[in-house]
Amino acid sequence: MMMLRPFVFFDLGQTLIDERDFIDSFDTRFLEILNGFGARIDRRNYVTVRDSVIRDRRIGTGSVTELIIEVCRLLAPPGYDKVIASRLEPEIRKRRGSSFRFSNDAPAMLETLHEMEIEMGLIANQSDDIAEILAKSGLEKFFSVKIISSAVRFAKPDPRIFQLALDKARRSAQECIMVGDRLDTDICPAKSIGMTTIRYTNSLFSLQTPSEECEQPTFSIASLSEIPGILEKIIFR
């Protein structure tokens, strides 16, 4: 039996966008500044602390600034968190534009879904410079709905950002799928309103483990190339 084709929403950072080069350069610079302020920590210990912040869900909506502040509170002398964040923010914006790129398997996957007549959109917590990055990629043509936190003034996991996306797509939650890497900002809020969820695990946020029922994804994938097969099963089940 053929079902109605679902509308598929994607997260961006560490889901469609490969942030590994950005993360590596960010970590190097952040560690340099931390030690300049007296942290005296090597990269291994820095990564351990950074990963614990991610695993323990201490960065809210997931901005780099939130990560900087939480790591600084653990490693830097008291009172320097906002000073270090303000020093890093201009560099972060510059590095984003030069190092962000779509994952290697994203273009082929998006093209396959387009050929399957699947409508697609974005629900992402991103700063306003993401519009330029998307335009340069040439892949924004695949997304008929683009809900970006900096443009709508609220962010995941706020249910309003998901409802806005559903309204723009003119679909019910039961007709939509959310693909993302974070259990707390992608999977749980989407599942809570009735969306099917696909967790992408090739991400730093694979450190997260489900802590409540809503964080159990409908499907889990290690590669974006698995998505067309999942959709075929949903459509023809």
Q: Are residues 35 and 122 in the same domain?
A: no
Q: What is the pLDDT of residue 153?
A: 86
**Maximum Cα–Cα distance for the chain, whole Å?**
64
Cα–Cα dist 83/186, whole Å:
30
pLDDT at 135: 85
Specify whether 28 is located in the same domain as 72.
yes
- Check whether residue 133 and residue 41 sit in a common domain: no
Measured CA to CA in angstroms, residue 182 lies from 35, 95, 106, 216, 227 at distances of 30, 23, 18, 11, 17
Residues 72 and 116 placed together within one structural domain of the fold = no
Q: Report yes or no on 215 lying in a domain.
A: yes
- Pair (60, 154) in one structural domain: no
- Helices within the chain (DSSP H only): 20-36, 43-55, 64-75, 81-99, 106-115, 130-137, 149-152, 159-169, 188-192, 227-235
| Interacting residues of 190 by C-beta distance below 8 A, sequence separation 6+ | 9, 162, 173, 178, 180, 197
Alpha-carbon distance of 8 to 21, in angstroms, equals 27
Which residue among 99, 132, 160 closes a domain? 99
pLDDT at res. 137: 84
> 114 and 90 in one domain?
no
Q: What is the secondary structure of 69-111 as a DSSP string?
A: HHHHHHHSPTT-HHHHHHHHHHHHHHHHHHH-EE-TTHHHHHH
Domain count, the chain: 2
Q: What is the pLDDT of residue 129?
A: 83
- Regarding whether 125 and 85 lie in a shared domain, the answer is no
pLDDT the model gives residue 85: 93
- The pLDDT of residue 122 is 98
11 & 117 share domain? yes
Residues 149 and 34 in one domain: no
Which of 99, 134, 152 is the C-terminal boundary of a domain? Answer: 99
Contact 6, 237 (CB under 8 A): no
Beta bridge partners of 163: none
> What is the mean pLDDT of each successive set of 10 residues along the chain, which is 237 residues long?
80 93 92 93 96 91 89 92 92 79 94 97 92 85 96 94 98 97 97 97 95 96 97 86
- Chain centre to alpha carbon of residue 150: 14
Do the strands 17-18 and 101-102 form a parallel or antiparallel pair, or are they unpaired?
Answer: antiparallel
Residue 120 and residue 183 in one domain = yes
Q: Is cis: bond before 77, omega within 30 of 0?
A: no
Per the structure, the complete domain to which residue 80 belongs is given by: 20-99
Distance of alpha carbon 53 from alpha carbon 59, whole angstroms: 7
List the 219-221 sheet strands across, edge first. Answer: 143-148, 120-124, 7-10, 176-180, 196-200, 219-221
Domain limit, last residue, from 71, 99, 127 = 99
pLDDT confidence of residue 100: 76
Predicted pLDDT at 3: 56
152, 215: one domain:
yes
Q: Give the chain's end-to-end CA distance (angstroms, integer).
A: 6
CATH of the domain at 146: 3.40.50.1000
- The confidence score (pLDDT) of residue 2 equals 46
Residues 32 and 14 in one domain: no
